[in-house]
Copies of this chain bind each other. A is one copy, B any other.
Amino acid sequence: MATEQSSNRVNGINLNVLNETVSAIKGDPELGKCHFRARNKWVDAAHNCTTVSGFYGAKQENTHKQVFELHADEPPILAGNDDGANPVEHLLHALASCVTTSMVAHAAVRGIYIEELESELEGDIDLRGFLGLDADVPKGYTNIRVTYKVKTDVDNLSKLKKLAEFSPVYNTLTHGTKVDIQVEPK
């Protein structure tokens, strides 16, 4: 990975921008409060589509440079047409991407250089829970294993493992969160 010292980049992260954000939020904690958003529309059967266009943060509405469109479906064995990764696979993506970015960014501000970084994830779900066949079987993931392979100075590995714990998705999954669902007529 290129590290452009001239523009103060480590692991590709522009430290000028990141440090500016950190300083601003230190000075005014209200700037750190974010509302992230998504809209989802059912297409047919197990196929549905989410659009992500912007979020509230730094006391303002922020628009993404494009509208992101994310498709979910189920494979035929789960009564779908396989036109997208399924929701629990998308959850693994959310986790992997968040832990990766958290490691890379927090390493950057600490001057820890990473050359390559990849991960494999595996999570366990017993479908008897989702299908309502046994009320004692959990409906969600009971365990997720993540293995990172990192090309960096070997002394950095234990530090990176610690930095993973800054990840918002990791923390949401391990601590749980409140989810309120409303169902209204259209």
Q: Which residues of A contact B (CB under 8 A)?
A: 1-2, 9, 11-14, 17-18, 21-22, 25-26, 29, 32-42, 44-48, 50, 52, 55, 57-58, 62, 64-66, 68, 70, 72, 74-79, 82, 84-102, 104-106, 114, 116-134, 137-152, 154, 157-158, 160-161, 164-186
Contacts and interface: CB of A to CB of B under 8 A. Distances in A.
A87 B136 CA distance: 31
A111 to B, nearest CB: 16
14 contacts: A18-B79, A25-B133, A35-B123, A36-B88, A37-B120, A38-B121, A39-B119, A46-B104, A70-B85, A88-B94, A129-B168, A146-B180, A154-B185, A174-B178
Nearest to A132: B166
Contact of A149 (B52, B66, B76, B185): B185
B182 A88 contact: no
For the complex of A and B, list the 7 residue pairs with the smallest distance between their C-beta atoms, beginning with the closest.
Answer: A140-B172, A12-B45, A87-B98, A140-B171, A176-B176, A72-B97, A40-B96
Contact of A41 (B18, B114, B118, B132): B118
Contact of A42 (B114, B141, B145, B166): B114
Given A26-B133, A70-B90, A157-B185, 13 more contacts: A21-B78, A29-B134, A34-B127, A64-B85, A68-B89, A70-B97, A72-B101, A87-B169, A143-B177, A147-B182, A147-B184, A161-B182, A174-B177
Contact residues of A: prevailing secondary structure: mixed
Contact of A124 (B29, B35, B94): B35
